[in-house]
Amino acid sequence: MRPFPEKLVVASHNAGKVREIRDLLEPLGCGIISAAELDLPEPEETGATFEENARIKALAAAMASGFPALSDDSGLCVDALDGKPGIHSARWAGPEKDFALAMRNVEEAMQAAGATGEADRSACFVAVMCLAWPDGHTELFRGEIEGVMVWPPRGTKGFGYDPVFLPEGHERTFGEMDTAEKHGWQRGQDEALSHRARAFKLMVETGIGDV
């Protein structure tokens, strides 16, 4: 297991995702810069799994920048839609990346599938983080959180599908939670809540970094 890099590129052009990853990385004390700040091109995500796409993005950023890179490939998997939108979660937002549209598209698909009762609206968020070095070495970490879909959307915090996802055991959607609550770090908690925080916690627990 390699030591955590002193300087790291966050391999994303998604401002909300970069912000959350910065918040998670801050305790590690490494220098952080995003792929967007370096004006790196966005690679085509041709993988069939979250792991494959995370690796594509991390390796592209690491090789283009010459620094280790951390990517995150994440998505919403709805049981009534056979796991969709899944790895194509961003595509449901269209070319303008309109997640109000994406949330509406998912809800319409669920209604068409007859998923109207709470028991039929189960879903999970998945995040896979990939840490890649310019020499091609990669390490992968996966986090998941179960929950149910709600409608209409609730809350204006977070990003993406957060306002329609109610994590299991909670009464507030991710869209109603601030960053600390969503990740599970507030009020002395040491249990990661969000899918992204769970992937990050696994990365730390397996020896990458020390917080």
Give the amino acid at 188: G
Catalytic residue among 23, 39, 72, 73: 73
Q: Is residue 210 among the annotated active site residues? A: no
Rg, the chain, Cα only: 17
Put residue 155 in one of left, alpha, beta given phi > 0 → left and psi -120 to 50 → alpha.
Answer: left
Beta strands in the chain (DSSP E): 7-10, 31-34, 69-78, 122-132, 138-149, 165-167
Q: How many CB atoms lie within 10 A of CB 122?
A: 16
Q: Which residues are catalytic?
A: 73
